[in-house]
Amino acid sequence: MVKQLADSLAHVKEVVQRHWGYDTLRPLQQQAMESVLRGVDSLLVLPTGGGKSLCYQAPAIVKGNTTVVVSPLISLMKDQVDGLKACGIAAVQLDSSQSASERFALEKRIRDGEIRLLFVSPERLAMSEFYGLLQQIRVDAFAIDEAHCISQWGHDFRTEYRQLKKIKELFPHASVHAYTATATEDVRADIIRQLGLHNPEVMVGDFDRPNLTYRILSRREPLNQVLDVVRRHNNEAGIIYCISRKNVDELTKSLRKNKVNAVAYHAGLTPDERRTAQDYFASEKCDLIVATVAFGMGIDRSNVRYVMHTGMPKSLEHYQQETGRAGRDGLEAECVLLYSSADLMLWKSIMEKSASGELAADTNDGSFLEAANKHLETMSRYCRGAVCRHRALVEYFGQSFAKENCAACDVCLSETVEVEGSDIIAQKILSCVARIKNGRFGAGHLVSILRGETTETVRKWQHDELSTFGILSSHAKGDLRDWIDQLVGLGVLDLLHLTMQSGFSFSAVVLNDESWKVMRSQRSVKLVQPMRSTKELKAKRLKIAGDSWQGVDKDLFEKLRAIRIRIAKEKGWQAFMVFSDATLREMASVKPSTLLKMSKIKGVGNAKLENFGEEFLQVINDHSN
Ligand code: ADP
């Protein structure tokens, strides 16, 4: 048995080298592959880009039977199937868009045992004729992609996923392997319970994505802040997430006005429009997609160099998943979030309105809203906090973070500076809260009083007569707003979410015990503001962005990228399926002069070498001579 497993593992490594051109496995890949080979149920949690797919794909080839892969979206299945075909592997998908004759032909190939990987939706698994087909072909392994969709505690719950419970009943001899990028302990336990996994091997990878640089900025001039990021990533792929469809449309329009080629993507577009937008982005005809979060799962381009959020996502799980779409190829990428405390309220009212519609009646026990609110509070605390972004994310997912300084987030890169006289400012803000009726007014009104603005509300409540009126008038509105958020993040001020009889809802500022400690000088606080010198910031950014370009001939890289786009277009694939950016950069650095030398480049498997090797070699040789 031990020898058999050792042989299978050696075989798997050979398969990975032959088909994918990778000479080493990443952390946990070997262990995850072993559980598939041994037929032991498993749950693998690895961040996006960690290499989960290979964990069921390579063993499927070694085992020689058909492995069934459950995937939530047709577009995701297509990407996977195309990617596998590019590597010379027999993979197909069965989906509702296929004609009866197409399906018939595919089913014949499946019955004849030609297919190693069969991709289907969760709904299809529950169909009796599909069950009949699987019975005929000795399926002994199921891979469940995006497994967190089965859990109501996760961030992408899908009722269809609940049907997967049946797999263990219908196929008691098959092993079931669940894969996800985001799962807290609750979600992990829920996945295991819902799928009915038997003594599963649970593997949880390192959540940190060291190649991502996280920045959270207060939202002041959103369009300029977006343009700033887009322009520093000229010619590179990016995704901008907006909270609403309206935001998506408006931002796309403004970007185009500013001569930035961007496509919009949201649920309000027709399926055709969505497909076109996605194809444009995937085929590298357009490098920037502006989207709502609901449709992110189909976006699968591996060389995304930046992900930007123009508003706060609704949970840290979402944030991790969405930012996780940057730098899947392992190369450096930037994640910028524009935050305003108004986002929290906006989300809370969206959640309240949609709570009943969000879930099917049989699963909505009221806990959804409670969970959603908890997620929102955690996310908002993360944005306001001034601790290392990598550390806070990793610790949220229950892991410890060893590095003192990640050198890849706004906090550790010291892109913020301490505000002079933080304690006095904090005391002034808090004592102003003490003078207005506790729990009645929001941060906006507080700012008006502190700056000495005679607004209608200020006059109505005679707050212009307070001793704190105009006490911080020399500071900018945005700074004051940020500092109030920071005081909340530091736990020395609370926000209370209130809905008035009229239906109007807002967050009121409320003092707590810690507030009094600050006011009595028993506790010190550190307030920060963004570094003002853009020169200094740019120098830092360039340093990070430059690292993995070392030794790469950029002109050659662009030439290689151009043939990649052409080939992908001919094949109807996503560009990175021909070769990833990492592979192209290695080619543009090593400049192999023969096919043998090219085969040593990471990501050049046999099928790709045979199909595209000559063409790429020609360009490299022409460029070098
Ligand atoms: P996930 O599903 O975890 O988000 P993928 O399976 O899409 O990640 O893998 C991300 C990228 O890493 C893909 O381009 C994949 O081919 C590549 N990859 C996976 N395993 C390895 C490996 N052992 N060595 C090098 N690259 C790998």
- What separation in Å is there between the alpha carbon of 27 and the centre of ligand 1? 11
Q: Which atom of ligand 1 is nearest to the CA of 29?
A: 23
Which pLDDT band, with edges at 50, 70 and 90, does 535 fall under? low
List, in order of start, the domains of the chain with CATH numbers: 2-204 (3.40.50.300), 212-415 (3.40.50.300), 417-530 (1.10.10.10), 554-624 (1.10.150.80)
Q: What is the mean pLDDT of residues 349-361?
A: 63
For atom 25 of ligand 1, which residue has the closest CA? 22
Decide: 319 in ligand 1 pocket, CB within 6 A: no
Task: List alpha helices for 118-182, DSSP H.
Answer: 122-125, 128-136, 166-170
Decide: 53 in ligand 1 pocket, CB within 6 A: yes
Judge if pTM exceeds 0.85: no
Cα(403)–Cα(482) distance, rounded to whole angstroms?
27
Which pLDDT band, with edges at 50, 70 and 90, does 545 fall under? very low
202: nearest Cα among 192, 193, 212: 192
- For residues 601 and 586, is the Cβ–Cβ distance under 8 A? yes
- What separation in Å is there between the alpha carbon of 346 and the centre of ligand 1? 36
- What separation in Å is there between the alpha carbon of 52 and the centre of ligand 1? 7
User: Is pLDDT above 80 for 331?
Assistant: yes
Decide: 302 in ligand 1 pocket, CB within 6 A: yes
- For residues 142 and 174, is the Cβ–Cβ distance under 8 A? yes
Mean pLDDT of the chain: 87
347: nearest Cα among 318, 322, 326: 318
Q: Which of 12, 44, 53, 207 is the pocket-test mutation for ligand 1 (most atoms within 8 Å of CB)?
A: 53
Q: Which atom of ligand 1 is nearest to the CA of 25?
A: 23
Q: What is the mean pLDDT of residues 222-226?
A: 93
Residue 421 has which token pair? 């006289």
Q: Which of 13, 19, 20 is the pocket-test mutation for ligand 1 (most atoms within 8 Å of CB)?
A: 20
Which pLDDT band, with edges at 50, 70 and 90, does 41 fall under? very high
Contacts of 287 (CB under 8 A, 6+ apart): 235, 236, 237, 238, 261, 281
Decide: 30 in ligand 1 pocket, CB within 6 A: no
Kindly report, residue by residue over 375-407, the tens digit of the pLDDT: 888 898 888 777 799 999 998 888 889 888 999
- What separation in Å is there between the alpha carbon of 4 and the centre of ligand 1? 26
- What separation in Å is there between the alpha carbon of 131 and the centre of ligand 1? 31
Question: CB atoms < 10 A from the CB of 187, how many?
Answer: 21
Q: Which atom of ligand 1 is nearest to the CA of 580?
A: 14
Q: What is the pLDDT of residue 563?
A: 93
Residue 125 has which token pair? 């698994």
Q: What is the pLDDT of residue 614?
A: 95
Q: Which of 12, 16, 22 is the pocket-test mutation for ligand 1 (most atoms within 8 Å of CB)?
A: 22
Decide: 50 in ligand 1 pocket, CB within 6 A: yes
Residue 542 has which token pair? 């360039």
Q: What is the pLDDT of residue 530?
A: 67
- What separation in Å is there between the alpha carbon of 51 and the centre of ligand 1? 3
- Asked whether the CA dihedral 324, 328, 330, 332 is positive or negative, the reply is negative
Contacts of 285 (CB under 8 A, 6+ apart): 279, 565
Q: What is the mean pLDDT of residues 132-158?
A: 85
Q: What is the mean pLDDT of residues 501-509?
A: 77
Q: Which of 31, 54, 81 is the pocket-test mutation for ligand 1 (most atoms within 8 Å of CB)?
A: 54
- What separation in Å is there between the alpha carbon of 331 and the centre of ligand 1? 12
